[in-house]
Structure 1
Amino acid sequence: MGSTRARIAIDAMGGDNAPAEIVAGALKARQELGVEVLLVGHADQIKASLAQRKDVDISHLDGVEIVSAEEVIEMHEEPLTALKRKRKASIRVAMDLVKENRAEAVVSAGHSGAAMAAALLRLGRLPGIDRPAIGAVFPTINPNKRVLILDVGANVDCRPKFLEQFAVMGAIYSEYVLGVAQPKIGLLNIGEEPSKGNDLAVRTHQMLAENSFISFIGNAEGRDVLSGNFDVIVCDGFVGNVLLKFAEAVGEIVLQTLKEELLGQGWLGKLGTKLVEPSLRRFKQRVDHVEHGGGLLLGVAGVCIISHGSSQAQSIFNAIRLAKEAIDCEVLERIKSQYPESTQQSPVSQPSAES
């Protein structure tokens, strides 16, 4: 396993700041990571964004390719309906590039439901995986440790075997991408005892305890999520998405409150702000979703990173880096190794991703 010269398809029209910030992040990744990028979307708008950059000669863009896609799936549109109607939508064209082996990964900051639906419809699921899951990395109280939460929005309703599959995929990702030896797995619940929680939690606890592939250490309560005692925590997408949005808000509120309190103390507060500015910057890096780039959609037959809708250049860069790490660490191949090709899969049902 080593670093590869990955080709990554970027949904240049996805997100609040498309295409300018998406293009900027992709160019940064091209320059600093050595990846080849395929910018998918309105060719004229992408070229205009490139032309605005003083540091880029658009007549000599080695490793950067523009792939035309005339349509965009808007945030208010129903994912499956829009994907079927808009065959030239940027997210669909990007997924097709992976399907056709012209790219190894997709990065999108657009409609998350459309990204998941496109991945399922165009790439399909990995053998043995009933439902894909979106994994998000959270900071913990230990500055040298992170925790992977999944699912954070792909599946509102889950069965115990779905959560068990999430745990297996999360363990693989934690070990090979995040570098955690024997990652500790937890099940998000309302109490530590195996009998606590609803029927889903109780049945899932038993299945995880019996799975020899993972190191399951029990239930994780809400207060345990950021404790650093767990490396992977599994839950259904409804709870996970609420947790994700809450964590993002808390980080922003804490940072803003600290600044307001310090600045409200007059010149002494301003002096204090200058003194603690490096610490505030490090705090922001630990809690800001921008630093993590996005969530990896685990369980589909391709590397797919779903970024925050408000992503700017740095976040897109980090998302591309995340995609490259997943490729270099052969995450898909490692998940496949846990589920034989003969495993029967149930038909794909309508995705219920949070958008």
Structure 2
Amino acid sequence: MKAARFHAKEDVRIEDIEEPTPGPGEVKIRNAYSGICGSDLHIYFAPESAGISFDEPHPLTGSLPPQVLGHEFSGTVVELGEGVDSVQVGDRVAVWPIYYCGECPACEKGMVNVCRMISFHGVMSNGGGMAEYTTVPASKLHVLPDDVDLRMGALVEPMAVAWHAVERSGIEAGQTALVAGAGPIGIGVWFALRARGVETVIVSEPSAERRAAIEGVGATTVVNPAEEDLTARVQAETGGRGVDVAFDAAGVGVAVTSALGELTPGGEVVVVAIHERPLELMPTQLVMSETAIRGTLGYLQSDFDAVIQAMSSGGYTSEGWVSEVPLEGVVEAMIDLRAGKRMKVLVRAGA
């Protein structure tokens, strides 16, 4: 079968490799679509920063490069391993890709998404979504309803990142929010907020292309902070109160520090993005209004279920911000994404 395999920095090859066979408790999936995300770009351009080891096998999966990429993917079940009765051949599924130890303090608290030995299928594992087939434990499968297609199914994973952040914020219908950054995760945060009944959502994004993308899915209050007074717009939209929650989906320090200034007393900034540089912060900003900064990472299985239900209810669209490439176009798409030339790219693995 054909697969996109990572070998080393800036070295991803389309290769013919052996088809996998499901073991006990596993299923074999004919992959359909697999998304390229920021983690894949880190793996390709700076593998050490992504935690990729070329010397020590991963303690949970035993994996070492070369690695089939693709951790946000969908497909169809084609074969069941021994003992699997939770799904059937022919089921269309999205895959929750986390491997966790089950023993560390995070896992003991049910926070398996921040397990100290965490790995992901398609990052450091035996297989991934950017291949014609892969095998995964059946416990990781989320069956898609008839009204959620495989293309949308591949978006469940990144949308679950955003959903988890919104869930952790505790924001409720009738409250207000600011979203800094209108990339794929920022768009996902907007979808999740709307699904929770949050109607006043202000989006801050300097890129004209990204502003157009989030406006295309329905956002109406979108600000270019390089040209417009963000504070004045927030005050106008919230009746001078400030927002209850601000979400950093941009990954730059100014997104956090400026968002702190837009909060109502007791408000919170939720950091969803991964930052590559330290943040300069005056703690007095937090003290004087009893505001807070919270970090969120990944998702739980329940976040996958919630996103799929919201998709089934018509709460998401892929139109206008998602594009597709064949398996052979993976490297070109990664280079384009790093240069800011695309929004969200799905790889047609075997669709």
TM-score using structure 1 length? 0.34
The higher-RCO structure (CA 8 Å, 6+ apart) is: 1
Decide which structure has greater helix share: 1
